[in-house]
Amino acid sequence: MTRQFPRLRRRVAIAVVAVLLFGIAAWYAYPYFSFTERFRRSKPALDAYAAQVGRLGPTSLAKPPSRIGYFNVLKAEPLPHGFVLQSDYGNPFDWDGLAFSTARLPKYDDDETGNVTQIFTPLGGNWYEVFRP
């Protein structure tokens, strides 16, 4: 019985140290995987895709690539002056995405009854973050 107690204490101590080290690593790695950083690193690939869509037209949105930069693409939809890419970067129960538009997009896009259907947040250049409530 006396030999078992020190073993258990050692295992608990190792588990606590492992959890602490994992927490510290996650704290320092978060900025690397934040949305802002993912967008910054993906911007060249996103710009290349926007140029391709501009060259080929909206028919190229029918089969978007499954991944552009650090973003998984679920589907693409045309906009009057660009397109919207649905991505999986946000909450799994929300519709999140990126929009490219050569014309300025409004902050809130409403339907005929006045309900907000999309929220556009500028990211820089012609890119916007999209949220559909």
Q: Any idea where the domains of the chain sit in the sequence?
A: 1-33, 43-132
Dump pLDDT digits (tens) for 79-126.
999 999 999 887 777 889 999 999 999 999 888 888 888 999 999 999
Tokens 């129960």, located at residue: 93
* Beta-bridge partner residues of 87: 73, 96
Instruction: Say if CB 95 and CB 75 are below 8 A apart.
Output: no
Tokens 């538009």, located at residue: 101
Return the sign of the alpha-carbon dihedral for residues 129, 34, 43, 60: negative
Beta strands 67-68 and 71-79: pairing type?
Answer: antiparallel
pTM of the entire predicted model? 0.75
Cβ neighbours of residue 74 closer than 8 Å, sequence gap 6 or more? 86, 87, 88
Dump pLDDT digits (tens) for 26-56.
777 666 678 888 899 999 999 999 999 999 9
